[in-house]
Copies of this chain bind each other. A is one copy, B any other.
Amino acid sequence: MNASPIETEALVIGAGPVGLFAIFALGRVGMRCHVVDSLGEPGGQCMALYPEKPIYDIPAQPSILAADLVDRLLEQAKPFRPVFHLGQTAQTMEAGPKGGWRIATSAGTVFHAKTVIVAAGAGAFGPNRPPLADLESYEGRSVFYMVKRPADLAGKKVVIAGGGDSAVDWAVLLAGLAAKVSVVHRRAKFRAAPDNIAKLETLAQAGKVELVIPYQLHALEGADGRLDAVVVADLDGGTRRLEADTLLPFYGMAGDLGPIGQWGLALAEGRIEVDRASFATNRPGIFAVGDIATYPGKLRLILSGFAEATTAAHAAFAHARPGQALHFEHSTTAGLPPLA
């Protein structure tokens, strides 16, 4: 916690595909960087949500798996020797003691950065939480957003909430293991792989899973983090009480600007407003690129973020080294420049 601050010309916040390409783009203009990400590995949503899904709209990659895209971006960034600080969230930003910015992470790492490129995508990533009173007191004890060890749920009365793939898959998997499985969904139809929906309906007809539809979560009953029942409500306000000792809400994942929202950066609709010519924010030396940035005409595509990162790197160079001319040559002519 009390290590010396890390002095750096550039700090990249976010190690998703756009943050990884920002390392390369900075490297091309001769700047090394440190990189912070809240996840435990590089790749952002590509790795956290859909590593095995093919992406079709990366230029000159007719089809590439998200995980392979990340691998190639890491390979491309590697010559520029980025230093990764993973599993920690950038929390506070304030003016640095010698100009620039002082950024501190949830792990206590402190950077003094001349320039910052925020490539934090949808922000720090986490599960969508249902709006229930006292939810926090149950989280991690009776309420879980992911199942790490299915065996822990053997013999339990489990309520699953949600209508997507996770809800359906876990209902099918836990049907033979838990004492009771109820699935609460606010619609009559599930939105998941058809063969898994068919399995779920077969289990429901056999009485091995109860489908509580269309209902939504209403309240939790219990004490000291131990759940006794989940109360659900139908669309007319009628309620039912489901005995339960475990609730698994599967409402997908979402990003949250989180602490970045408190940095004094100008925002619009939950995104960081940038100058289209440089991707500069309203704070000098802080740039934002990729999904977290917004400007007129913005498309939230990985490929747009790549181009934005390149422009931001040029602008970061101009900011970090005022008066120094950037002799930029095409990579076909220059090859990869050596770094100082």
Contact = CB atoms under 8 A, between A and B. Distances in A.
A309 to B, nearest CB: 9
B303 A50 contact: no
How many copies of the chain does the oligomer comprise?
A: 2
Nearest to A28: B57
Contact of A62 (B53, B75, B330): B75
A49 to B, nearest CB: 9
- For this complex, into which size category does the number of interface residues on chain A fall? 35 or more
Interface in A48-79: 50, 53-62, 64, 66, 69, 72-73, 75-76
Nearest to A73: B60
A332 interface: yes
A196 interface: no
A59 B57 contact: no
Given A311-B297, A311-B299, A332-B53, A59 B306 contact: yes
Contacts of A69: 60
A335 B301 CA distance: 14
A277 B276 CA distance: 8
A324 interface: no
A322 interface: no
Interface string A301-333: 101101110110011000000000000001110
A21 interface: yes
A24 B76 contact: no
A296 interface: yes
Contact of A306 (B21, B66, B296, B303): B303
Interface in A18-68: 21, 24, 28, 50, 53-62, 64, 66
A336 interface: yes
Contact of A307 (B277, B303, B314, B315): B303
A311 to B, nearest CB: 6
A230 to B, nearest CB: 31
Contacts of A24: 57, 59
A278 interface: yes
Given A57-B28, A60-B72, A336-B56, A310 B304 contact: yes
Interface in A104-156: none
B59 A21 contact: yes
Contact of A61 (B76, B301, B310, B315): B76
19 contacts: A53-B332, A56-B76, A57-B331, A59-B59, A59-B73, A59-B76, A60-B61, A60-B64, A60-B76, A276-B296, A277-B295, A277-B296, A277-B297, A278-B297, A297-B311, A297-B315, A303-B306, A303-B310, A307-B307
Given A57-B310, A61-B61, A307-B307, 13 more contacts: A21-B59, A24-B59, A50-B332, A55-B331, A56-B332, A56-B335, A59-B59, A60-B76, A276-B276, A277-B295, A278-B297, A299-B311, A306-B306
